[in-house]
Amino acid sequence: MKKNPGLKMEMYETLGKVGEGSYGTVMKCKHKDTGQIVAIKVFYEKPEKSVNKIATREIKFLKQFHHENLVNLIEVFRQKKKIHLVFEFIDHTVLDELQHYCHGLESKRLRKYLFQILRAIEYLHNNNIIHRDIKPENILVSQSGITKLCDFGFARTLAAPGDIYTDYVATRWYRAPELVLKDTSYGKPVDIWALGCMIIEMATGNPYLPSSSDLDLLHKIVLKVGNLTPHLQNIFSKSPIFAGVVLPQVQHPKNARKKYPKLNGLLADIVHACLQIDPAERTSSTDLLHHEYFTRDGFIEKFIPELRAKLLQEAKVNSYIKPKENSKENELRKDERKTTSTNTMLSTPILGKSQMEKGIFNERTGQNDQIANGNKRKLNFSRSDRKEFHFPELPFTIQPKEMKGMEGFHDLQLYSGWCWKGRLE
């Protein structure tokens, strides 16, 4: 971790607290030299190893992996024994949009978002990384429609054959059946399952498998998706947690469009390919990017230039924020930033400028069983119950050296007119 002389927080003016979660607090701040609005996530100083583990994992992955559709960490420092993460600030998340557009996203917007989300997942999977917590609140959306996958507190390198995972992760509503049953040999398909659940939610406005317990979730999976495979059924029957429980056997339509009649035909095909009970039968992110849903009517050829233009425009807007010119320290910092920016532009993948994008972070990650009963998505909630805690990123001002990505929190007042109809099941 960066060892910084002096008190790093004194470089920022605190504008207020914007979120609080299980692992820390997020403050909205303004960089005194540049005027940059940032969100600073301060991890709690707790004796439990889990907090430090989450912070360390998050930092590790955000420093190692860079892509246009992944959130970028800007700066890390420790002050008063507390870990501070600085991120770019971004407007909102997909969850925010779903709470505003109660019946789902408009089809054109949905396709653009999904294309970017898949690019982020493909990038991770190609680097042998699984995210393990894909959900609407972990997809950040800038004002211009650039989406970024965030929250890497549970991401990890894919296990080697024979290795097992010790962590039990993923928000319940988006957990694949192998995760629910605590099968330790899971892999990339858990992200694909979560994506399938999220696609239905983005298209309809309703979470597909809201559940109050693991047994409730398994029951809904069997009723809505399919029966357990022999391997999973064997794990289920031997689990003391589910002792004496018998799941129903259900006949499901084999045709994707009959199984998911509320979805556009091609989108139903995608969801069907994602929501396969057997992980080995689930599709890959690469195959999904080549699906007719994206290749028809020249969508990719049209959207890539549009996306590139948006990235360049955001970088240009952010570049207008200049540090004060009245100190030698600022001049040196400026020169360092120029060098870093040049190197970044040469090394970024495909769309270029990945260090200059916006992103947000959401910390609602680790308390697995609290998640179903907790902050956001209760089965019986009111507006006051649904406290939203997001950790946004700071709009990066073309100074990648000092700032490399940030988590942020969306100001809830932007959506004071949220519509809650259709969010319950």
- Domain spans in the chain, listed from the N-terminal domain onward: 8-91+307-415, 106-134+153-298
Beta bridge partners of 201: none
**23 pLDDT above the threshold of 80:** no
Report pLDDT for 324: 52
Beta bridge partners of 353: none
Report pLDDT for 296: 94
Q: How far apart are CA 123 and CA 65, in angstroms?
A: 9
Q: How far apart are CA 186 and CA 174, in angstroms?
A: 14
Report pLDDT for 333: 46
Q: Is the distance from CB of 353 to CB of 68 less than 8 angstroms?
A: yes
Has 41 been labeled as part of a binding site?
yes
**Is this prediction's pTM over 0.85?**
no
For residue 40, the 8-state DSSP code is E
- In the three-class reduction of DSSP (H, G, I as helix; E, B as strand; rest coil), residue 288 is classed as helix
Report pLDDT for 170: 66
**What percent of the chain stands above pLDDT 90?**
46
Q: Would 8-91+307-415 and 106-134+153-298 be classified into the same CATH topology?
A: no
Residues 6 or more apart whose CB falls under 8 angstroms from that of 30 comprise 12, 13, 15, 36, 37, 38
From the options 1.10.510.10, 2.60.120.260, 3.20.20.70, 2.60.40.60, give the CATH code of 106-134+153-298.
1.10.510.10
Q: Is the distance from CB of 356 to CB of 370 less than 8 angstroms?
A: no
Catalytic residue, candidates 33, 96, 133, 191: 133
Confidence band, pLDDT 50/70/90 cuts, at residue 8? confident
Strands (E), 316-365: 360-362
Mean pLDDT of the chain: 76
**102 pLDDT above the threshold of 50:** yes
How does pLDDT run across 129-150, given as a tens digit for each residue?
A: 999 999 998 999 998 999 999 8
Annotation marks residue 133 as catalytic:
yes
SS3 content of the chain, % helix, strand, coil (to 5): 40, 15, 45
> What's the first-to-final CA gap in the chain, in angstroms?
45
Largest interatomic CA distance in the chain:
74
Q: What is the dihedral sign for C-alpha 340, 343, 347, 349?
A: positive
CATH class (in words) of the domain with range 8-91+307-415: alpha beta
**74 pLDDT above the threshold of 80:** yes
